[in-house]
Chain A
């Protein structure tokens, strides 16, 4: 099983639609979780951290289910500018104090007129 797994898409949605992305992770020792956004040929940029209680930032809502090792991202009222690749990122603390961020393959979103 892959460490972090996402549906690669692409998801083609009309402007204004609601779209949901899912992510599963294999390491039950994973401690923190993030959604990053990556535009073509650019660096990943943090979209939001994901907390156990779920969290919302404007049109974006993230959920975490530790028991199922599952993370989700919901985008409401999607805009053309939301078109990008959305990366699920999981952090595991390593013995000795370091940590490792593992990326999913990313889910490509295309919002169309």
Chain B
């Protein structure tokens, strides 16, 4: 069964450092997403990406965040200067033209 792959599974970083979270969506999927989930809280939308550009972003997705799909397979989320409150599980997802989204197993980001 095709799956969305995320690396690393766990990232520890110092406050103020830049991190890049990596995702390989399912090939031939058209829509790509990043979500985050702070421990014990709901899954929150960050950004959706379609046709090589951001189609929607939430107010969480401020100037510290950026996404790229550099080579047609990887989909990355960059956080430029991490803050303590960025500590969360970050999920990548992809979706074909119709139907449901498949999620990766997530990257647990811990900012210290």
**Chain A residues close to B by CB (< 8 Å):** 34, 38, 41-46, 49, 87, 94, 96-106
A102 to B35, CA, bound (A): 10
A87 to B35, CA, bound (A): 14
Candidate in B50, B91, B100 with the most chain A CB atoms within 10 angstroms: B100
Distance to closest chain A CB from B78 (angstroms): 20
- B13 interface contact, C-beta 8 A: no
Cβ contacts A to B, 6 pairs, < 8 Å = A41-B89, A42-B105, A99-B55, A100-B45, A103-B42, A103-B44
Residues of B within 8 A of A100 (CB): 45, 48, 55-56
Query: Quick one: closest A residue to B101, CB to CB?
Result: A101
Query: Quick one: closest B residue to A102, CB to CB?
Result: B45
Interface size class of B (residues with CB under 8 A): 20 to 34
**Chain B residues close to A by CB (< 8 Å):** 31, 33, 35, 42-45, 48-51, 55-56, 89, 91, 93, 95, 99-106
Selected contact of B55 from candidates A46, A87, A97, A105, CB within 8 Å: A97
Selected contact of A43 from candidates B31, B33, B105, CB within 8 Å: B105
Selected contact of A98 from candidates B44, B56, B89, B104, CB within 8 Å: B56
> Do A97 and B42 touch (CB < 8 A)?
no
Residues of B within 8 A of A104 (CB): 42
Selected contact of B99 from candidates A38, A49, A97, CB within 8 Å: A49
Selected contact of B48 from candidates A46, A87, A99, A106, CB within 8 Å: A99
> Do A99 and B31 touch (CB < 8 A)?
yes
Query: Quick one: closest A residue to B91, CB to CB?
Result: A43
> Do A43 and B48 touch (CB < 8 A)?
no
Residues of B within 8 A of A105 (CB): 42
A87 to B43, CA, bound (A): 9
A87 to B95, CA, bound (A): 17
A103 to B93, CA, bound (A): 13
> Do A103 and B103 touch (CB < 8 A)?
no
Closest 10 CB pairs of A and B: A98-B55, A98-B50, A43-B103, A103-B43, A105-B42, A46-B100, A100-B56, A94-B56, A43-B105, A98-B48
> Do B56 and A44 touch (CB < 8 A)?
no
